Amino acid sequence: MKRLIEDASRYLMNTYSRYPLLLVKGRGTRVYDYDGKEYLDFVGGIAVNVLGHCHPRVVVAIQKQAQRLIHVSNLYHIEPQIRLARLIVENSFADRVFFCNSGAEANEAAIKLARRYGKDHFGQERYWIITAYNSFHGRTMATITATGQEKVRKGFEPLLPGFKYVPFDDIDALKDALDEKTCAVMLEPIQGEGGVRLPSQEYFKEVRSLCDETGTLLILDEVQTGMGRTGRLFAYEHYGIEPDIMTLAKGLGGGVPIGAMLAREDVAASFTPGTHASTFGGNPLVCQAALATIETLLEDDRYILRECERLGEYLINRLYKLQEEFSGIIVDIRGKGLMVGLELTRECQPIVRAAMERGLLINCTAGTTLRFTPPLTITEKDIDRALDILADIFWRLS
């Protein structure tokens, strides 16, 4: 393990602040390092492993498809891709789907489609997109520009023109920023990388109305919130609205890299052959994994999603009890389903490291917020164990 970690430092680009941990196996909510030590995983690949690690249904789907056909070009029809597109459309607002490889690519596609639609329907100057401060939309040039965090954009100037930012959950600021050059408003239903920040219940209804009044597209970035993470298949269902464009990735493939950009029929019509493409997007292998993932989420009257909502409430209630005991450390608790943030009075990286030593993997975001994004298949026992570990750490800090 030591040699492999040394080789990582030597051969890989230094783009991640990695922990000194090498994971080699995973089953359900547990992962195991090179020495066989077990860890309870509340990171879930950063909201990716919605069914846990190596879910049998996903594994079998990948094995069978790998023996049949791994990759062909999108110059030809691909059976698993067609079936996946139909399943997504039948369970969402959308009429059309474009497949790619990641959340950043899905958001890049959404930005391109929104600009193309704006020019098709309103003229060449209709290309501006409004996003929110503290948002996160990806690491490509377009998506770092869309991201409302200076630290993500710094050093990559000049950025792509045509973006402006407003405070999240501030409808008046959005009204002031929106004008005849605005083609789209792009928002996360819950700001994940921004610290698990939720809007007021009425915010998205007001945004939807404003977009309808002005002919502006509403893009929802559901890369992190989608695929059951909040207790609904898509987070927009909590707010009683539908977007015009939506992006997915992370949990879509149950662990394999796949992204998707969804749109209404009239919006999708602005993409024609040659306007956008992806060599690997929607290949047979990843689509078969995604089919197995979604079918599992939907079976038994969406049992996993209902359990996600229940267990999310259980987790949040347990965190409130923890806050009563450690009010000097815990500032706030926010979340929906199994996407929960615990804001602290101090930097949380030392707590992440202390938890890892005790066999719990958890993530820090926005500097002072612990983010809980475990598999949707966790149990109350898993939650109790995780919070017992955190309680022990907080007790030592207080």
Task: Give me the active site residues, please.
Answer: 136, 221, 250
Segment 100-116 mean pLDDT: 98
pLDDT digits (tens, 9 = 90+) for 183-227: 999 999 999 999 999 999 999 999 999 999 999 999 999 999 999
Residue 93 has pLDDT above 90, yes or no: yes
Q: What is the pLDDT of residues 385-397, one digit of tens each?
A: 999 999 999 999 9
pLDDT of residue 36: 96
Confidence of residue 398 (pLDDT cuts 50, 70, 90): confident
Q: How far is residue 174's CA from residue 190's CA, in Å, rounded to a whole number?
A: 17
C-alpha dist (Å) from residue 325 to 170, 319, 350, 394: 33, 10, 20, 9
Locus of tokens 């929106």 = 178
Q: Enumerate domains of the chain plus CATH numbers.
A: 2-54+303-397 (3.90.1150.10), 56-296 (3.40.640.10)
Question: CA 173 to CA 175: how far, in whole Å?
Answer: 5
Rounded Cα–Cα distance for residues 375 and 29 (Å):
6
* Nearby residues of 323 by Cβ (< 8 Å), 6 or more positions away: 330, 333
Residue-wise pLDDT tens digits, 339-378: 999 999 999 999 999 999 999 999 999 999 999 999 999 9
Answer yes or no: are the C-beta atoms of 381 and 61 closer than 8 Å.
no
Residues 221 and 193 sit within 8 Å (Cβ to Cβ): no
- In angstroms, the CA 84 to CA 283 distance is 11
